[in-house]
């Protein structure tokens, strides 16, 4: 779903309650991992610096991390998900292993702090 919202809070308000709750939970996790990340709407998606982005699509929710190798390394533990080139797709937040997502985000944050940009540009 491409949004015309100008803030992440507006984007979340547009969503059905279950999707709003799921993406809000991920938003909280992202801020726990990277408290200084800058939120912005980019390309109609909630974005968190160069760390990641979120989306509510027609048939699933997405976490875009743009680190294909790291996603592959954690795929078996991520839960009931499907992955593309840098995105993790899931239907419900309960399908996603948030502990593994936190580990993944911390690894990506470490790469960004070392000056290593997203690998799927």
pLDDT at 121 over 90: no
pLDDT in tens, 50-66: 999 999 999 999 999 99
* Contact predicate 107/74, CB 8 Å: no
pLDDT in tens, 77-111: 999 999 988 899 999 999 999 999 999 999 999 99
Q: What is the pairing mode between strands 82-83 and 61-64?
A: unpaired
Phi, psi of 30, deg, nearest 5 = -60, -45
Q: What kind of fold does domain 8-113 have according to CATH?
A: 3.90.1150
Buried b (16+ CB within 10 A) or exposed e, 21-59: ebbbebbebbeebbeebeeebeeebbbbebbbbbbbeee
Give percent helix, percent strand, percent coil of the chain, each to the nearest 5: 45, 20, 35
Single pTM value for the model: 0.94
């Amino acid at each position: 779903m491409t949004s015309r919202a100008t803030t992440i809070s507006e984007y979340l308000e547009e969503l059905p309650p279950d999707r709003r709750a799921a993406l809000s939970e991920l938003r909280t996790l992202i801020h726990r991992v990277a408290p200084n990340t800058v939120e912005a709407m980019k390309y109609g998606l909630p974005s968190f610096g160069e760390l990641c982005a979120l989306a509510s699509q027609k048939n699933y929710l997405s976490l875009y991390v743009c680190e294909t190798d790291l996603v592959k390394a954690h795929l078996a533990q991520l839960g009931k998900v499907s992955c593309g080139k840098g995105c993790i797709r899931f239907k419900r937040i309960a399908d996603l292993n948030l502990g593994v997502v936190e580990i993944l985000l911390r690894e990506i944050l470490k790469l960004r702090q070392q000056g290593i940009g997203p690998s799927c540009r």
